[in-house]
Amino acid sequence: MSVRVRFAPSPTGSLHLGNALTAAANRRFADERDGILVLRIDDTDPARTLEGGEEAILDDLRWLGIGWDEGPVRQSERAALYADAAGRALERGAVTDPDGAIRLGHTTLLRPGGTATYQLASVADDLSLGITHVIRGSDHRPNEAVQQLIARALGGELPEVLHHGLLLGDDGRKLSKRHGAVSVAELRDGGVPAAAVRSYLEDLGLPAHDVRLDRARIGRLAIDAIAAMPDEELAAVAGVPAGYAQALRGARTLVEAEQLGRQLVDPEPVSLPPAATPTLERFVELRAGAGELDEAGARAIVRELKAVGGDLRALRLALTGAESGPALGAVVAALPSDEAVERARRAQVSD
């Protein structure tokens, strides 16, 4: 029988990392078995349905490179299936309450208004979509027995269920908004490359026990992912010409790379006091005389200025408009000669 798994987020907005772990685990499980991943949106509970929530999840999955083969299947569009399932359950022990709700034992299947609960909808879908394995966080472990009872009341069997350990915050509690920067969107906006998040999730695999979120590790993976980016790609994300990529190499996040990129292509104008003039003039001579420069040549110019007691802080300010940034040698190597000379002249106060 071919493997069919599903990832079933509620549309509450950008995925938190725990849910992203579930998504990655389902994708991998399917890929390793030549199986199918169905994306299901659990939107039967209005309290857990956020405007734009589904789109945010699809964006996150695309950004992470986690594709799906079928769906999105929306539970809000399957009321008829659930009504039918509830009807079947009524023939096998479910009862109708005076308020109209249908329940099996202690579990509500249909609410008084006739909408399906997560428990009924999830089981009816797992059966009707031919799901063979349910892979989800261990916070759902208590649901397994209840869902098996429902599956049998519907005349079926629950798929095999694998529960993985949860991601916890630094305080050892289940990851949630109060831990800050735990959603995929927050990491993306913070400049963590998708490859870093994905490799963090892949390394965790299907954890048997709960694990604490290791932000420092995500930070190191971000540095690795940026280091592994080809020049063209890094330059494109940072919005600079490819020739400037080398000067962005110290960036720890893509946001930093963008900031460094801005210093290179669009520096804040500066006016430096007369004390800076000898350094800037000497730089103009050295740079204009050097023609095409590689990084070693650029570093040689910086060394020479330093040897004569030049004011390297002033040179950096003149070239980048900032007190700190990429290695000065990398800046000098990246900027075309005319541009560097022009910036060194412009920074001098004329009187």
Does 159 engage in binding with ligand GLU (CB under 6 A)?
Answer: no
Residue 60 and residue 24 in contact, taking contact as beta carbons nearer than 8 Å: no
Binding residue (CB under 6 A) for ligand GLU from 140, 152, 174, 345: 140
Residue appearing with tokens 């004390």: 275
CA nearest neighbour of 333 among 287, 265, 274, 271: 287
Distances (CA, A) of 288 to 274, 291, 309, 346: 21, 6, 20, 15
Looking at beta carbons only, is 140 or 174 nearer to ligand GLU? 140
The neighbour count for residue 67, using CB atoms within 10 Å, is 11
Looking at beta carbons only, is 133 or 287 nearer to ligand GLU? 133
Q: How far is the CB of 341 from ligand GLU (least distance, A)?
A: 59
Looking at beta carbons only, is 27 or 136 nearer to ligand GLU? 136
Does 136 engage in binding with ligand GLU (CB under 6 A)?
Answer: yes
Looking at beta carbons only, is 138 or 259 nearer to ligand GLU? 138
Strand partners, 160: 133
Does 119 engage in binding with ligand GLU (CB under 6 A)?
Answer: no
Looking at beta carbons only, is 78 or 287 nearer to ligand GLU? 78
Looking at beta carbons only, is 120 or 221 nearer to ligand GLU? 120
Looking at beta carbons only, is 18 or 267 nearer to ligand GLU? 18
Q: How far is the CB of 94 from ligand GLU (least distance, A)?
A: 20
Looking at beta carbons only, is 25 or 197 nearer to ligand GLU? 25
CA nearest neighbour of 166 among 206, 122, 218: 206
Of 8-16, 88-96, 211-219, 335-343, the segment contacting ligand GLU by CB under 6 A is 8-16
Q: How far is the CB of 201 from ligand GLU (least distance, A)?
A: 16
Looking at beta carbons only, is 8 or 319 nearer to ligand GLU? 8
CA nearest neighbour of 166 among 144, 141, 190: 141
Q: By CB under 6 A, how many residues form the interface with ligand GLU?
A: 7
**Cα Rg, the chain, nearest whole Å:** 29
What is d(CA 189, CA 175) in angstroms, rounded to the nearest whole number? 19
Does 8 engage in binding with ligand GLU (CB under 6 A)?
Answer: yes
Residue 139 and residue 111 in contact, taking contact as beta carbons nearer than 8 Å: no
CA nearest neighbour of 23 among 61, 69, 80, 51: 61
Q: How far is the CB of 205 from ligand GLU (least distance, A)?
A: 18
What is d(CA 100, CA 324) in angstroms, rounded to the nearest whole number? 68
CA nearest neighbour of 84 among 38, 27, 125, 48: 125
Does 122 engage in binding with ligand GLU (CB under 6 A)?
Answer: yes
Q: Residue 48: is it exposed, middle or buried by C-beta count within 10 angstroms (0-12/13-18/19+)? A: middle
Does 270 engage in binding with ligand GLU (CB under 6 A)?
Answer: no
The string of DSSP letters for 258-315 reads HHHHHHHHSPPP--B-GGGHHHHHHHHHHHHHH-S--HHHHHHHHHHHHHTT--HHHH
Q: How far is the CB of 2 from ligand GLU (least distance, A)?
A: 20
Does 42 engage in binding with ligand GLU (CB under 6 A)?
Answer: yes
Select the residue whose beta carbon is closest to ligand GLU and give its number: 42
Q: How far is the CB of 112 from ligand GLU (least distance, A)?
A: 22
What is d(CA 257, CA 234) in angstroms, rounded to the nearest whole number? 8
Binding residue (CB under 6 A) for ligand GLU from 10, 14, 246, 279: 10
What is d(CA 214, CA 200) in angstroms, rounded to the nearest whole number? 9
Does 127 engage in binding with ligand GLU (CB under 6 A)?
Answer: no
Of 7-15, 57-65, 261-269, 324-332, the segment contacting ligand GLU by CB under 6 A is 7-15
Does 9 engage in binding with ligand GLU (CB under 6 A)?
Answer: yes
- Interface residues toward ligand GLU, by CB under 6 A: 8-10, 42, 122, 136, 140
